[in-house]
Chain A
Amino acid sequence: MSYEFEFGDVLGAWDELLHGALNTLWLSALAMLIGLVVAILGAFGKTSGPRWLRVLIDAYIEVIRNTPFLIQIFVVFFGLPSLGIRLEADQAALLALVINVGAYATEIMRAGIESIGKGQIEAGKSLGLTPLQIFRYVVLKPAIQAIYPALTSQFILLMLNTSVCSAIAASELTAAANDIQSRTFRSFEVYFVVTVIYFALSLLFWGLFRVIERTLLRQPARR
């Protein structure tokens, strides 16, 4: 068995690949940011909200974590128009990604919040801080510090998951690869190159997470 690699056609479409990679980068970063906000709100609601809200958030988390992401995208992209909500493929992809990562990240954030000792909350109360102020100034940062490795792993998974968005032809890296492949029939080469690009994107995000950890989330040295 022998296969002759021919990268010429693939590398000739470098501008499409670059464009796809940049879109994947943006789509992921945006979904991470909005997903983090969803997670913080969701986790606050789940730990401090009224009962009906907790039930609602639980239902959201369970539905999302127990169904395939591909189906979630299809529901958003093909289902929502039936309700009169029409989204571009890229918007639908972003929305589906946020909904998906929001559920996983909410659970992670909840674990972080619950890791904060009761004494911290009592100290906040005894100083006259409101529950929201206690969450914002006392709980949030140590909670994120506690679950940062789990959260960033989830975010890398999210970035890799964006490739599923090619199923609705969102403009991201895998969709670009599919286009090139259907034009050149150089499947092996295309997906090999794309694999390398995804790996590079992962390393880029890991690096970024590391920088954030060392600046914004810096833990004071112990004595």
Chain B
Amino acid sequence: MSASQPHTLGDVVVTMAGVGKWYGDFKVLKDVNLDVRRGERIVICGPSGSGKSTLIRCLNRLEEHNEGRIVVDGIELRHGMRDIDKVRREVGMVFQSFNLFPHLTVLENCILAPMKVRGTARAEAERTARLYLERVHIPEQAGKYPGQLSGGQQQRVAIARSLCMNPRIMLFDEPTSALDPEMVKEVLDVMVELAESGMTMLCVTHEMGFARKVADRVIFMDRGEIVEAETPDVFFDRPASERTRAFLGQILPH
């Protein structure tokens, strides 16, 4: 597999400038600066506790930052903002633990937000849902409940559920970390296809094969800081920082 295909990037859709965040006395994000352009695919990796999940959770305000500026899709995220839902409906998120709604069928999981948030009619929402279930290769599971699916299938439903809102940006928080090994590929395949469709993506993952294949930039975080942000070629072959080299040495097969 070659490194990511060159493709054109649009305007800046995410800006993080001097972002900091504390959990009590512990500073989990330190002076994070990052611009993401439309269509860009970013992979974030780093040791556990390095702040990578916190970083992307700040982008849809599941976590609130304490200093600096975050602008997502033209809206600045501020303390006490009342229109956060406006940002969230444009930013999809896929979680490590899927978080499908267990009492709703796959189809109902997919149409809930389009109907309630966007006001889409049921028939239209169902059409869109079936389209995306097709895209994640499980159209035949529409009538089942999440508990009846494998982990890989559930995660693909979770991706479809997010896509049904037609988001402009997709966030992935370790989407394959809770999966059995044999199910990782089916989820990564869907993510690669999504990347090829031009979606703006920020993925926290340790799947370095995925990073090499689709990432425009790979970001390495350690102790709340962005240590390195490079194209996959540079990142994997000529990392500038000693910390990056040490990390890669630990996770890449020898």
Interface residues, chain A, CB within 8 Å of chain B? Answer: 117, 119-120, 122-123, 125-130, 133, 137-138, 141-142, 145, 219-223
Known: A125-B88, A127-B161, A129-B117. A221 touches B95 (CB 8 A): no
Which residues of chain B come closer than 8 Å to A127, judged between CB atoms?
88-89, 112-113, 117, 161-162, 165
Which residues of chain B come closer than 8 Å to A142, judged between CB atoms?
102-103
Q: List the B residue with the shortest CB-CB distance to A131.
A: B85
B147 within 8 A of partner (CB): yes
Q: Once bound together, how far apart are the Cα atoms of A133 and B89, in whole Å? A: 14
16 extra A-B contacts, CB within 8 A, seeds A127-B117, A129-B113, A222-B147: A119-B97, A120-B99, A120-B101, A125-B62, A126-B60, A126-B162, A128-B165, A129-B116, A137-B116, A145-B103, A220-B144, A220-B148, A222-B148, A223-B147, A223-B148, A223-B149
For the complex formed, measure the closest distance between the CB of B157 and the CB atoms of chain A, giving whole angstroms. Answer: 12
- Total interface residues on B, CB under 8 Å, equals 31
For the complex formed, measure the closest distance between the CB of A216 and the CB atoms of chain B, giving whole angstroms. Answer: 11
A220 B60 Cβ-Cβ under 8 A: no
Known: A128-B89, A129-B117, A137-B112. A123 touches B148 (CB 8 A): no
Q: Once bound together, how far apart are the Cα atoms of A183 and B165, in whole Å? A: 71
Within 8 A of A (CB), among B148-165: 148-150, 158, 161-162, 165
B95 A119 Cβ-Cβ under 8 A: yes
For the complex formed, measure the closest distance between the CB of A22 and the CB atoms of chain B, giving whole angstroms. Answer: 35
Q: Once bound together, how far apart are the Cα atoms of A145 and B103, in whole Å? A: 10
For the complex formed, measure the closest distance between the CB of B110 and the CB atoms of chain A, giving whole angstroms. Answer: 10
**Of A117, A123, A130, A220, which is within 8 A of B145 by CB?**
A220
Which residues of chain B come closer than 8 Å to A119, judged between CB atoms?
95, 97, 99
A130 B93 Cβ-Cβ under 8 A: no
For the complex formed, measure the closest distance between the CB of A215 and the CB atoms of chain B, giving whole angstroms. Answer: 14
Q: Once bound together, how far apart are the Cα atoms of A219 and B149, in whole Å? A: 15
For the complex formed, measure the closest distance between the CB of A152 and the CB atoms of chain B, giving whole angstroms. Answer: 18
B92 within 8 A of partner (CB): yes
A133 B103 Cβ-Cβ under 8 A: no
Return 9 A-B CB contacts under 8 Å, by A number: A122-B93, A123-B100, A125-B88, A133-B116, A137-B112, A220-B145, A221-B145, A222-B148, A223-B147
Q: List the A residue with the shortest CB-CB distance to B158.
A: A123
Q: List the A residue with the shortest CB-CB distance to B96.
A: A119
A126 B91 Cβ-Cβ under 8 A: yes
B62 A128 Cβ-Cβ under 8 A: no
Q: Once bound together, how far apart are the Cα atoms of A128 and B112, in whole Å? A: 11
Q: List the A residue with the shortest CB-CB distance to B149.
A: A223
A123 B95 Cβ-Cβ under 8 A: yes
The 7 closest A-B pairs by CB, nearest first: A128-B89, A220-B145, A127-B113, A123-B99, A126-B93, A119-B99, A128-B88
Which residues of chain B come closer than 8 Å to A220, judged between CB atoms?
102-103, 144-145, 147-148
Q: List the A residue with the shortest CB-CB distance to B146.
A: A220
Which residues of chain A come closer than 8 Å to B85, judged between CB atoms?
128-130
Which residues of chain A come closer than 8 Å to B148, judged between CB atoms?
220-223
Q: Once bound together, how far apart are the Cα atoms of A160 and B222, in whole Å? A: 63
Q: Once bound together, how far apart are the Cα atoms of A120 and B102, in whole Å? A: 9
Q: Once bound together, how far apart are the Cα atoms of A129 and B85, in whole Å? A: 7
Q: Once bound together, how far apart are the Cα atoms of A120 and B158, in whole Å? A: 12
Q: Once bound together, how far apart are the Cα atoms of A16 and B117, in whole Å? A: 54
For the complex formed, measure the closest distance between the CB of B109 and the CB atoms of chain A, giving whole angstroms. Answer: 9
Which residues of chain B come closer than 8 Å to A128, judged between CB atoms?
85-86, 88-89, 113, 117, 165
Which residues of chain A come closer than 8 Å to B62, judged between CB atoms?
122, 125-126
